[in-house]
């Protein structure tokens, strides 16, 4: 080095301090790096597998311990997007370790599917790929849909099973409520197979409403429908007095006269019935017409008695104008072309009896405090605006207001809605099931400006609706089409010809289904011609009587004329024939007395049919199935034979078991049943 640079010393080695720092920091680094694998080692799933093995060892299950494969257990189903590692901790799903009741070692209850067929999260939600408790079960930053509470679990089924499903009653109830409460009037709910749910509540048109009721009743009704009828499905829009007054003013103003007004009311029909027996007579008529099959009335104990297919009649006297009611009873179709109410053939006396009976059903307090200012052009105009904004026309036909399109949010994918898109009410839990349930239960708690009205639902119904909606997932929409099991779609079948007109007038399809169209209240008539004997059918239509005494709903008596009965019976016998109901299936000549005797043996001994059916009122006590005392008059032999062989093939879902009868056994039983004829003059 140059002596000029002597003032600039050169240091060649690190100082001791530098070396010390170097050593200490290196050591700290090595230790820190070693912590990472250690942290990895103490993972949740390793912990649970260890405790499983410990329990197994305590129970001396050596085979279980030996056959256990440690490590991450995974169900991978590529086409469903399933990567489920739940079984890494839930190692005892098959219940091999008996009696382990604490999670995560609880045995999975038996289900109709294999676990490796659909994985776990398909039904349970949660984060399948996760192997830590927190991430797998709960809402985290990376995963929104936590484990579904058990009460909504049936929604998992509903992703593939789009129709009613046995074993998933909540789901089925929810789906039917979506339809029967009219939710789908406003909300679109499209199922993964592309079918929209359709409303099943048939709200009345309001185009001729002034004819039917008063403005005061209308006002009270829209303010609180349930005050008039506890079972009303119309929701409460929580209108204020002014809005309700304006809406009622508009609804009265838009009303036009219906076709029914052309019908003249004969004095006999309008006359108040006289005589001591009038009240009894009216009650009898109400009963004989089986009005209560569809309509309910509240009794003194405030219980509803009757069906829920038509409106509740407890206070109908407050609602309807007497003349409207008389015309309605005379022929409902004239007022409401799409009503489900059949056209009873009532004579003037019957109309008078029934109308005065119904008009007496009133509650004098209901409208006592309703005093409306006379309607003005302003209030009508304001009412129209309100009706448009409230979306009344989504359900009801109203003159001058078009049904709104896309009025309410589409619920097709609501079961996968991102929480970021959900506005929660203050104080509620931030998860989707609770949100949906709360929204159904009390929509206005999410803000007074919201349009959705308040429906009258029990908690169980709310839960069922939420279950049905939670089935509408993104996941289901991406499933392979072959997995989807569509529900039955209503066909557009309508009977034709003269008989068709008659059946339409009688609204047979309100209760009976034929060829895939119609209600489910009464038996399917698709094969009725093959099933019953023509003579019995005529007899039945003349004076319908229930076959099952335990049922409340019964076929009403329509007072048909003999020609109408003939037309109907002939048409049903000819048109509603199934295939295979011929002599090739059963040779009726073989049904002789010997055969019948053998059949009786089979009936009472081998198969014990009398435990459900009654063949002889004196001895048998079976009330589960229909009485068979006159079955030989009612059913055709070949139907009976085929029915006995396989009941479910003829009526899906029947309670009648398939006993696996041999051909000759079925024939002998048929022979026996055919001997059970009705006594002359009655079909008891």
Partner 1 sequence: MATTIKSGFERIRNTEVWRTIFRSGSGSSNLHRSQAVQQNIFLHLFSVKVRSRALEFSPTWYLGALTLSTFFILIATGILLMFYYHPSVPQAYADMKDLQFVVASGVFLRNLHRWSAHAMVFLVFAHMFKVFYRGAYRPPRQFNWVIGVFLLLITLLLSYTGYLLPWDQLAFWAVTVGSNIAKAVPLMGKQIRFLMLGGNEVNANALLRFYVLHCVILPLVAILLVGVHFWRIRKDGGLYVPEKKNL
Partner 2 sequence: MQAEVQSDVRKNPRRIAFILRRTSPYVKTQDDGRVMTYPTALSRFIIALEVAFVLLVWISLLANAPLEGMADPMHTPNPAKAPWYFLGLQELLHYFPPMVAGVLVPGLVVGALIVIPYFNINIEGESLWAKDRKRRLMIIGVALVLFCIFLLAFDVIVALVPTILIGGLMLWSARFSSESPRLFHRWLASKPLSFWIMSWFLIELTILTVVGTFFRGPGWSWVLPWQS
In angstroms, how far is CA 13 from the centroid of its own chain?
86
Say whether residue 129 binds partner 1 (CB under 8 A): yes
> Closest separation between CB of residue 29 and partner 1, Å?
11
Q: Could you give the angle at which helices 322-330 and 348-359 cross, rounded to 10 degrees? A: 140
**CB atoms closer than 10 angstroms to residue 50:** 11
Sorted by sequence, the CB contacts under 8 Å of residue 142 that are 6+ apart come out as 127, 135
Please list every residue from 200 through 239 that binds partner 1, using CB under 8 A: none
Nearer to partner 1, 46 or 557 (CB): 46
What length is written for the chain?
684
With CB under 5 to 8 Å by kind, the binding choice for 558 among partner 1, partner 2, none is none
The residue (of 4 and 60) whose beta carbon lies closer to partner 2 is 4
Largest separation between any pair of C-alpha atoms in the chain: 145
Binders in 137-166 for partner 2, by CB under 8 A:
141-144
Distance of CA 238 to the CA centre of its chain: 26
| Cβ-based neighbours of 257, under 8 Å, separated by 6 or more | 208, 211
Comparing CB distances to partner 2, the nearer of 29 and 552 is 29
Contact pick of 5, 40, 405, 619 for partner 1 (by CB under 8 A): 40
Which residue, 9 or 374, has its beta carbon nearer to partner 2?
9
Q: How far is the CB of 6 from partner 2 (least distance, A)?
A: 10
Angle at CA of residue 278, ends 275 and 279, nearest 5°: 135
Q: Count the residues of the shown chain that bind partner 2, applying the rule CB under 8 A.
A: 31
Element (H, E) at 211: helix 209-212
Sign of CA dihedral 328, 332, 335, 340: positive
Partner whose footprint covers residue 5, from partner 1, partner 2, none (CB < 5 to 8 Å by kind): partner 2
Q: Which residues contact 339 (CB under 8 A, 6 or more apart)?
A: 202, 204, 332, 333, 507
Which of partner 2, partner 1, none binds 14 (CB below 5-8 Å, type-dependent)? partner 2
* Footprint of partner 2 on 391-420 (CB under 8 A): 418, 420
In whole angstroms, the minimum distance from the beta carbon of 484 to partner 1 comes to 22
Q: Which of 553, 560, 524, 511 is nearest to 290 (CA)?
A: 553
Residue 220 DSSP one-character state: H
Q: Name the binder of 276 from partner 1, partner 2, none, CB < 5-8 A by kind.
A: none
Shortest spacing between CB 11 and partner 2, in angstroms: 5
Which value, in Å, is the radius of gyration of the alpha carbons in the chain? 35
Which one, 129 or 622, has the nearer CB to partner 1?
129
360 alpha-carbon distance from chain centroid: 34
Give 14 or 516: the residue with its C-beta nearer to partner 1. Answer: 14
* Contact indicator for 370, 224 with CB cutoff of 8 Å: no
Cα(487)–Cα(158) distance, rounded to whole angstroms?
11
The binder of 135, among partner 1, partner 2, none, by C-beta within 5 to 8 A per type, is partner 1
For residue 17, with 0-12 CB atoms within 10 Å meaning exposed, 13-18 middle and 19 or more buried, which class applies? exposed
- Compose the 15-54 pattern: x for residues touching partner 2 by CB under 8 A, - for all others: ---xx-xx--xx-xx--xx-xx--x---------------
Which partner, partner 2, partner 1, none, binds residue 19 by CB below 5 to 8 Å per kind? partner 2
CB-based contacts of 26: which residues, under 8 Å, 6+ apart? Answer: none
DSSP β-ladder status, 75-77 and 82-84: antiparallel
**80 neighbors 119 (Cβ within 8 angstroms):** yes
Tell which one of 130, 329, 627, 666 touches partner 1 (CB under 8 A): 130
Residue 85, contacted partner among partner 2, partner 1, none, CB below 5-8 A by kind: partner 1
Does position 135 interact with partner 1 (CB under 8 A)? The reply is: yes
* CB of 131 vs partner 2, minimal distance in Å: 14
Query: Applying CB under 8 A, does 11 fall inside the site for partner 2?
Result: yes
Both tokens of residue 10?
């050169």
User: CA angle 482-484-486, nearest 5°?
Assistant: 120
Q: DSSP letters along 361-388, please?
A: ---TTTTTT--PPPP-HHHHHHHHHHHH
- Using DSSP bridges, classify how beta strands 296-298 and 82-84 pair: parallel, antiparallel or unpaired: unpaired
| Contact call for residue 85 and partner 1 (CB under 8 A) | yes
131 binds, among partner 2, partner 1, none (CB under 5 to 8 A by kind): partner 1
Helix (H, G, I), strand (E, B) or coil at 12: coil
CA atoms within 13 A on the CB side of 45: 20
Q: Which helix (H) or strand (E) holds 36?
A: helix 16-41
Q: Is 2 in the site for partner 2 (CB under 8 A)?
A: yes
Shortest distance, CB of residue 17 to partner 2, whole angstroms? 11
Query: Counting contacts by CB under 8 A, is residue 14 touching partner 2?
Result: yes
The Cα 488–Cα 490 span in angstroms is: 6
Q: Mask 504-523, x = binds partner 2 (CB under 8 A)?
A: --------------------
CA distance 408 to 430: 22
User: Given the rule CB under 8 A, which of 116-124, 126-134, 525-533, 591-599 is the region that contacts partner 1?
Assistant: 126-134
Binding span for partner 2 by CB under 8 A among 12-20, 87-95, 186-194, 244-252:
12-20
**Position 83 contacts partner 1 (CB under 8 A):** yes
How big is the site for partner 1, counted in residues (CB under 8 A)? 16
- Residue 83 is inside which H or E element, if any? strand 82-84
Q: Decide whether 89 or 100 has the Cβ nearer to partner 1.
A: 89
Structure tokens at 237: 């829009």
Q: Decide: 569 and 534 in contact? Cβ < 8 Å.
A: yes
**Which of the choices partner 2, partner 1, none does residue 4 contact, using the CB cut-off of 5 to 8 A by kind?**
partner 2
Segment 52 to 81, residues that bind partner 1, using CB under 8 A: 72
Q: How far is the CB of 160 from partner 1 (least distance, A)?
A: 22
Report what 328 binds from partner 2, partner 1, none; CB cut-off 5-8 Å by kind: none
Per CB under 8 A, 13 contacts partner 2: yes
Minimum distance, C-beta of residue 8 to partner 2, in the bound complex (Å): 4
Q: Which is nearer to partner 2, 10 or 301 (CB)?
A: 10
**Can you tell me which of 49, 92, 122, 131 binds partner 1, judged by CB under 8 A?**
131
User: Helix (H, G, I), strand (E, B), or coil: what is residue 146?
Assistant: coil
Query: Smallest distance from the beta carbon of 142 to partner 2, in angstroms?
Result: 5
16 contacts partner 1 (rule: CB under 8 A): no
- Smallest separation, CB 77 to partner 1 (Å): 14
- Please report whether residue 142 would count as binding partner 1 according to CB under 8 A: yes
Classify burial at 569, counting beta carbons within 10 Å of its beta carbon; exposed 0-12, middle 13-18, buried 19 or more: buried
**What is the contact surface with partner 1 in residues (CB under 8 A)?**
10-12, 36-37, 39-40, 72, 83, 85, 129-132, 135, 142
**What is the contact surface with partner 2 in residues (CB under 8 A)?**
2, 4-5, 7-14, 18-19, 21-22, 25-26, 28-29, 32-33, 35-36, 39, 141-144, 418, 420-421
């Amino acid at each position: 080095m140059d002596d000029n640079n002597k003032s600039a010393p050169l240091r060649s080695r690190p100082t001791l301090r530098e070396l010390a720092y170097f050593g200490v920091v290196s050591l700290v680094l090595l230790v820190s790096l070693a912590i990472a694998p250690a942290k990895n080692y103490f993972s949740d799933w390793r912990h649970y597998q260890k405790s499983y093995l410990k329990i197994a060892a305590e129970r001396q299950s050596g085979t279980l311990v030996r056959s256990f494969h440690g490590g991450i257990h995974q169900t991978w189903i590529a086409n469903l997007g399933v990567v489920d590692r739940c079984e890494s901790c839930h190692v005892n799903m098959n219940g091999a370790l008996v009696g382990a009741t604490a999670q995560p070692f609880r045995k999975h209850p038996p289900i109709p599917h294999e676990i490796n067929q659909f994985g776990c999260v398909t039904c349970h939600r949660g984060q399948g790929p996760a192997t830590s408790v927190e991430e797998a079960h709960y809402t985290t930053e990376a995963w929104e849909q936590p484990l579904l509470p058990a009460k909504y679990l049936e929604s998992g089924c509903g992703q593939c099973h789009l129709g009613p499903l046995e074993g998933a009653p909540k789901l089925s109830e929810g789906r039917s409520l979506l339809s029967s409460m009219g939710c789908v009037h406003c909300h679109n709910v499209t199922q993964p197979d592309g079918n929209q749910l359709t409303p099943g509540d048939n709200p009345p048109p309001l185009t001729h409403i002034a004819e039917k009721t008063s403005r005061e009743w209308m006002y009270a009704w829209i303010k609180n429908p349930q005050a008039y009828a506890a079972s009303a499905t119309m929701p409460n829009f929580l209108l204020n007095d002014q809005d309700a007054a304006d809406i009622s003013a508009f609804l009265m103003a838009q009303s036009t006269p219906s076709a029914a007004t052309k019908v003249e009311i004969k004095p006999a029909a309008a006359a108040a019935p006289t005589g001591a027996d009038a009240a009894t007579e009216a009650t009898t008529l109400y009963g004989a017409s089986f009005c209560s099959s569809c309509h309910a009335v509240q009794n003194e104990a405030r219980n509803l008695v009757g069906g829920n297919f038509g409106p509740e009649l407890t206070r109908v006297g407050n609602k309807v104008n007497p003349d409207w009611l008389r015309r309605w009873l005379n022929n409902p179709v004239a007022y409401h072309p799409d009503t489900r109410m059949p056209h009873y053939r009532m004579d003037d006396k019957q109309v008078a009896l029934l109308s005065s009976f119904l008009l007496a059903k009133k509650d004098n307090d209901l409208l006592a405090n309703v005093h409306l200012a006379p309607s003005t052009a302003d209030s009508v105009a304001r009412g129209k605006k309100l009706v448009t904004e409230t979306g009344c026309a989504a359900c009801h036909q109203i003159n001058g207001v078009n049904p709104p399109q896309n009025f309410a949010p589409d619920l097709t994918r609501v079961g996968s809605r991102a929480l970021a898109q959900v506005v929660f009410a203050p104080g509620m839990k931030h998860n989707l099931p609770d949100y949906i349930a709360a929204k159904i239960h009390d929509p206005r708690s999410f803000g007074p400006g919201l349009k959705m009205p308040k429906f009258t639902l029990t908690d169980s119904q709310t839960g069922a609706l939420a279950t049905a909606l939670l089935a509408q997932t993104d996941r289901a929409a991406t499933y392979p089409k072959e997995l989807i099991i569509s529900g039955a779609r209503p066909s557009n079948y309508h009977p034709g010809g003269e008989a068709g007109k008659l059946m339409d007038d009688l609204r047979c399809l309100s209760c009976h289904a034929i060829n895939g169209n119609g209600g489910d209240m009464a038996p399917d008539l698709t094969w009725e011609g093959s099933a019953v004997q023509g003579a019995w059918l005529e007899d039945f239509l003349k004076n319908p009587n229930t076959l099952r005494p335990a049922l409340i709903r019964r076929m009403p008596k329509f007072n048909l004329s003999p020609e109408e009965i003939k037309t109907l019976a002939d048409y049903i016998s000819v048109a509603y024939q199934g295939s295979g109901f011929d002599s090739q299936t059963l040779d009726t000549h073989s049904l002789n007395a010997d055969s019948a005797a053998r059949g009786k043996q089979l009936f009472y001994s081998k198969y014990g049919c009398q435990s459900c059916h009654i063949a002889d009122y004196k001895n048998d006590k079976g009330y589960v199935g229909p009485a068979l005392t006159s079955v030989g008059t009612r059913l055709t032999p070949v139907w009976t034979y085929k029915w006995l062989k396989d009941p479910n093939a003829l009526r899906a879902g029947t309670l009648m078991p398939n006993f696996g009868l041999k051909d000759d056994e079925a024939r002998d039983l048929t022979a026996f049943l055919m001997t059970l004829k009705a006594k002359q003059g009655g079909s008891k």
